[in-house]
């Protein structure tokens, strides 16, 4: 029962405002150590990398992993090539997630795993830590964070740190990227704008509300309601709440489907105010779902990964690397971006390790936990620093709007600051 409750609690984090993608900060730019890359050593053993995900939710993740692997193998790392052994699909099953992780470690002998899944639960992440296998991904699960005991025990490296640090009680700072972009749209200070908020009516929604209650004062949240996890048959009560309170913005922190229905109901009722969520930016989705695109028209979505529409140096880099690797993707999907940026962080850490000597699990851990800062390019991920980012997130995001059936960048992807929790 405990495992099932934990799964319910964290499965919804992806749909909550607890996650925000990382972006640029010039403070972390460094040149890669020359000794770590260069030529490939004939006969040197490969460094095996495995993938583990909810494949249906993160389509193209394997393509993103391959793009970085192919680029890294042009020069090798410490004389060694990377070898991608494939992506395993856990089918949203916690038990399968664990068994697949065990297979990757014990049969495929992987050095590291690129893993993003709402069922990447402690059973799996504790197992990986016990085997000294680092894992990389979107850091919204607890395995990317240290324990409340303060022990430096996490072998998870989120490309934007530990996103749930505040909710897990690891940090007294909250994620400033969750309110700053929308404040730009409504043209008010983030601590002055008013909202009506909607959260999912389950453990995950309550968990998410901890973050929002720390970001906004009671005076700012003029109305709040919980939305049934299976969706509401009639959204009239929610629409009426918005019309009554007349907020500066409406925040929807629910699952993907409920978010679409809520936006559609508000639009059908003639509401023309600012409405935003954290789930409905899915590259390629609008073109494939014209009816849904109409329901989302005019609405905003806070993106937790660099938006293709920004067309920054980071987007040009991932696009070029996908093409060079033979990918047939017409653009960087959400899954491809997760796979790419996760593997890029691993690549940088391997380069840093090779600069100090042989690449082993213990050597890797010593280098990374001894003080590592990632590099970045304009418009891409923010600088992550370890061990610090096992206990805090990297607060970056952007905002897109649906205009004419297409996503348009409204607030370009950027980094913000960690904020002290509100007290009233």
pLDDT digits (tens, 9 = 90+) for 329-385: 989 999 999 999 999 999 999 999 999 999 999 999 999 999 999 998 899 989 999
Which of 215-239 are b and which e, b meaning 16 or more Cβ less than 10 Å from the residue's Cβ? bbeeebbbbbeebebebbeebeebb
Torsion of CA 147, 153, 156, 162, to 10 degrees: 40
d(CA 140, CA 353): 26
Owner of token pair 């980094």: 415
Asked if 18 and 211 touch (Cβ cutoff 8 Å), the reply is yes
Q: Identify the pLDDT of residue 204.
A: 67
Please state, in angstroms and as integers, the Cα–Cα distance from residue 83 to each residue in 148, 173, 191, following that order.
35, 39, 48
Quick one: average pLDDT of 193-211?
A: 84
**Residue 122 burial (CB count, 10 A):** 17
- Coil vs helix vs strand at 284: coil
Q: What is the pTM of this model?
A: 0.87
d(CA 47, CA 185): 46
Q: Identify the pLDDT of residue 28.
A: 41
Owner of token pair 């916690």: 94
Please tell me the least confidently modeled range out of 1-10, 109-118, 308-317, 355-364. Answer: 1-10
Band (pLDDT 50/70/90 cuts) for residue 88 is: very high
pLDDT digits (tens, 9 = 90+) for 109-168: 999 999 999 899 999 999 999 999 999 999 989 899 997 665 558 999 999 999 888 888
Structural domains for the chain: 2-171+311-393 (3.40.50.2300), 174-308+397-420 (3.40.50.2300)
Please tell me the least confidently modeled range out of 22-26, 79-83, 142-146, 148-152. Answer: 22-26
Q: Identify the pLDDT of residue 30.
A: 40
Q: Identify the pLDDT of residue 14.
A: 46
């Amino acid at each position: 029962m405990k495992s099932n409750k934990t799964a319910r609690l964290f499965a919804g984090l992806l749909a909550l405002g607890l996650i925000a993608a990382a972006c640029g900060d010039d403070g972390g730019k460094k040149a890669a150590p020359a000794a770590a890359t260069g030529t490939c050593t004939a006969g040197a053993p490969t460094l095996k990398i495995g993938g583990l995900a909810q494949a249906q939710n993160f389509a193209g993740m394997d393509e993103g992993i391959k793009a970085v692997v192919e680029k890294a193998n042009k020069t090798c790392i410490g004389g060694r090539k990377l070898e991608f052994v494939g992506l395993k699909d856990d089918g949203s099953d916690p038990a399968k997630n664990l068994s697949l992780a065990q297979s990757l470690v014990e049969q495929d002998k992987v050095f590291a795993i690129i893993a993003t899944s709402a069922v990447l639960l402690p059973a799996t992440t504790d197992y990986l830590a016990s085997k000294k296998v680092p894992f990389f991904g979107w850091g919204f699960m607890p395995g990317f964070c240290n324990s409340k005991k303060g022990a430096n025990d996490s072998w998870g490296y989120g490309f934007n740190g530990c996103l749930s640090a505040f909710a897990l009680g690891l940090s007294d700072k909250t994620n400033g990227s969750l309110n700053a972009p929308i404040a730009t749209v409504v043209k008010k200070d983030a601590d002055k704008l008013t909202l009506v908020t909607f959260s999912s009516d389950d453990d995950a929604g309550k968990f998410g509300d901890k973050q929002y209650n720390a970001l906004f004062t009671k005076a700012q949240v003029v109305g709040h309601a919980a939305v049934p996890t299976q969706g509401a048959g009639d959204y009239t009560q929610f629409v009426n709440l918005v019309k009554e309170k007349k907020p500066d913005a409406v925040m929807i922190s629910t699952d993907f489907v409920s978010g679409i229905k809520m936006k559609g109901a508000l639009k059908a009722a003639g509401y023309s105010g600012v409405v935003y969520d954290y789930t409905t930016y899915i590259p390629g989705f609008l073109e494939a779902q014209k009816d849904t695109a109409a329901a989302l028209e005019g609405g905003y979505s806070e993106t937790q990964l660099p938006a293709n529409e920004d067309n920054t140096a980071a987007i040009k880099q991932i696009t070029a690397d996908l093409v060079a690797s033979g990918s047939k993707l017409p653009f960087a999907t959400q899954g491809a971006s997760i796979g790419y940026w996760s593997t890029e962080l691993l690549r940088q850490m391997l380069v840093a390790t090779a600069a100090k000597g042989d690449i082993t699990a213990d050597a890797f851990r010593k280098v990374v936990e001894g003080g590592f800062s990632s590099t970045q390019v304009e418009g891409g991920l923010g600088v992550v620093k370890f061990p610090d980012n096992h206990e805090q997130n990297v607060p970056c995001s952007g905002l897109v709007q649906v205009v004419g059936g297409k996503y348009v960048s409204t607030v370009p992807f950027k980094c913000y600051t960690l904020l002290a929790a509100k007290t009233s």
